[in-house]
Amino acid sequence: MKNTVTTLQNQKLNKDKITMLTCYDYSMAKLMDTSGINVLLIGDSLGQVMLGYEDTLPVTMEDMIHHTRAVSRGAKEAFVLADMPFMSYQTSVYDAVLNAGRLMKEGRANGVKLEGGAKVCRQIEAIVEASIPVCAHIGLTPQSVNAFGGFKVQGKSEEAARQLIEDAKAVERAGAFMVVLECVPAKLAALVSEAVNIPTIGIGAGAGCDGQVLVYQDMLAMFSDFKPKFVKQFANVGEVMKQAFADYTKEVKGGTFPSEEHIFAISDEIIDKLY
């Protein structure tokens, strides 16, 4: 069954946790889709994990559309959520609607995600008005890394905690169908989850959220540049891959690969004629 805005919102009502993972290509989309992951997020984290940038700021609309198209071709049941990259919605409401539309039309996403609370409510309202589902993202919003002065846990003071609750309520009022809470103290994230009717998806925000999201390279131990505290490595795929690459090298150099079973035959008669 296809995951939709409605099925995701019903999961909150039924206390059935929502699973989201980042996804950036077709093969991985098929693997996640058949594993029953509810939402595939084409995160702008692709700037770091796929493209090798230091942060998400250089990611372009073209990058996002390119990867979103690949994922949407592989997602039969999962909801395809595409991040709006830095400066694709901050500049104006007009830009926000236009770029959200491109992710839907060219990327074939089922919805878009953008960072910010009360500050981006005009954008959320206008995108929703265009019949495009919007997921908000509050707490640690990586596109604001320069304004924050680094990647840090958000909402720790009373004032910041109140602001976070207000931001969640504001994006809900603006029409967001879901909200990501990143790097927020667990008890505060649980409060936020009770304060709004839309599902909350946590990353570094504890088990009180209505769902969870992780970057797949983090949860598969495929990315070693940086390991945040909130990451759990569910499998050491990085090690498995490194071993396979080393074995391949050894077999090619040793002449044991390719062997009989991997080759195409031709009759000796023809070969003899070629001498």
For binding to Na ion (CB under 5 A), which residues are involved?
43-44, 83
User: Residues 23, 43, 172, 210: which binds ligand KIV (CB under 6 A)?
Assistant: 43
CA distance 171 to 138: 9
Strand pairing category for 134-139 and 211-214: unpaired
Closer to ligand KIV by Cβ: residue 43 or 107? 43
Residue type, 194: E
Residue 145 or 191 with smaller CB distance to Na ion: 145
Active site residue 125: no
Q: How many CB atoms lie within 10 A of CB 16?
A: 14
Residue 92 is assigned to a ligand binding site: no
Token duo for residue 224: 């070693």
113 assigned to a ligand binding site: yes
**Residue list 223-242, contact with ligand KIV (CB under 6 A):** none
> Which residue among 172, 182, 251, 260 is the active-site one?
182
| Closest distance to ligand KIV from the beta carbon of 213 (Å) | 5
- 105 assigned binding-site residue: no
Which CB atom, from 103 or from 256, has the smaller least distance to ligand KIV? 103
Separation of alpha carbons 41 and 82, rounded Å: 6
| Alpha helices (runs of H) in 121-254, residue ranges in sequence order | 121-129, 145-148, 158-174, 186-195, 216-219, 237-254
Helix, strand, or coil (residue 42): strand
- Asked whether 138 and 168 are in contact (CB, 8 A), the reply is yes
172 is a contact residue toward ligand KIV (CB under 6 A): no
Binds ligand KIV (CB under 6 A): choice among 44, 167, 210, 218:
44
Has 115 been labeled as part of a binding site? Answer: yes
Bridge partner residues of 213 (DSSP): 20
**Which lies closer to Na ion via its Cβ, residue 10 or residue 20?**
20
Is 83 a residue that touches ligand KIV (CB under 6 A)?
yes
Q: Binding site for Mg(2+): residue ranges?
A: 44, 83, 115
Residues with active-site annotation: 182
